[in-house]
Amino acid sequence: MRTLVAIPVYNEERTVQRVLAHVLQYADDVLVIDDGSTDRTVAMLPKLPVDVIRHARNRGYGHALIDAFAWAASHQYDWIITMDCDEQHEPQSIPAFLEAARQNSADVISGSRYVNLDDAEGAAPPDRRAINATITEEINARLGLRLTDAFCGFKAHRVDALRRLTLTENGYAFPMQFWTQVAAQGLRVQELPVKLIYTGAKRSFGAGLDDPERRLRHYRCVLNTEIGKWAKKLPPAAAGSDDAISPGQGSFTCPMP
């Protein structure tokens, strides 16, 4: 089972060396997607035993993941594990994802920070936790999934299953498109408990999305639009929502705030 660990980074000079040194204890093949960093991350990466995709400018978290998936497919990996570089995902959890992948009972193994909170370190700001809970509930109700954490970026993906998805969402609304297509394509989903570590209270979502109300509206718009594109392959409950922002038809693109 050939597995790639892919890590998007953006201005992570404070953590990148520690995180990658730790990841390399558990993975032989590591890909870093540098999403237009302007700090010393750019100079650090060539010194490390990892492959690097470099964006000349910041293209967004979703774009970094889409590039990572394409790399995994073109280099014939069986699985790709994605994780963050801000020390909120523990590399020592990588073997648990590998073991779950070997069970061959899922196409997406998604980390959940909310299954076991006994050893949590820190807490998400109330608006982020509330948006996560709200969107997770809506995704479950509309797509027939049973997630407890729709936004965790620590995941293992079967590469052959990813080939069935058409992913284009560049920003932080990427999970809305991802989960809609996962449901539409009937991919098997399993959650895996991971430790909740929260150190990013000051992180910016950019493009006006730091405002919680605008961020929630944007996420709902992307979700509703994607559901409109895949309605024929989704449960009947997917179509109805009082929170629909866009018509969900044709080539509509949700405007940024």
Q: What's the whole-model pTM score?
A: 0.90
Mean pLDDT of 235-255: 57
Model confidence at 41: pLDDT above 60: yes
CATH number for 163 = 3.90.550.10
Asked whether residue 19 is domain-assigned, the answer is yes
Strand partners, 158: 79
Q: Is 173 inside any structural domain? A: yes
Q: Is residue 184 one of the residues assigned to a domain?
A: yes
Q: Pick from 97, 109, 88, 92: which is nearest to 8 by CA?
A: 88
Q: What number is the average pLDDT over the span 22-43?
A: 97
Total of domains in the chain: 1
Question: Domain span at residue 140?
Answer: 3-203
Q: Is the pLDDT of residue 204 over 80?
A: no
Q: Specify if 254 maps to a domain.
A: no
Rounded to an integer, the average pLDDT of 160-173 is 97
Q: Is the pLDDT of residue 247 over 60?
A: no
226, part of any domain: no
Residue 203 has pLDDT above 80, yes or no: no
Residue 65 maps to a domain: yes
Please state whether beta strands 79-82 and 3-9 pair in parallel, antiparallel, or not at all (unpaired): parallel
DSSP string, 23-38: HTTT-S-EEEEEES--
Separation of alpha carbons 162 and 171, rounded Å? 18
Instruction: Give the residue, 73 or 118, on which the prediction is more confident.
Output: 73
Task: Give me the pLDDT at residue 220, please.
Answer: 96
**Does some domain include residue 231?**
no
- Alpha-carbon distance of 32 to 53, in angstroms, equals 6
Is 70 exceeded by the pLDDT of residue 171?
yes
What confidence tens digit (pLDDT) does each residue in 137-155 have?
999 999 999 999 999 999 9
Q: Are 155 and 110 in contact (CB under 8 A)?
A: yes
Q: What is the mean pLDDT of the chain?
A: 89
Classified as helix, coil or strand, 248 is coil
Dihedral sign of CA atoms 97, 103, 107, 113 in order: negative
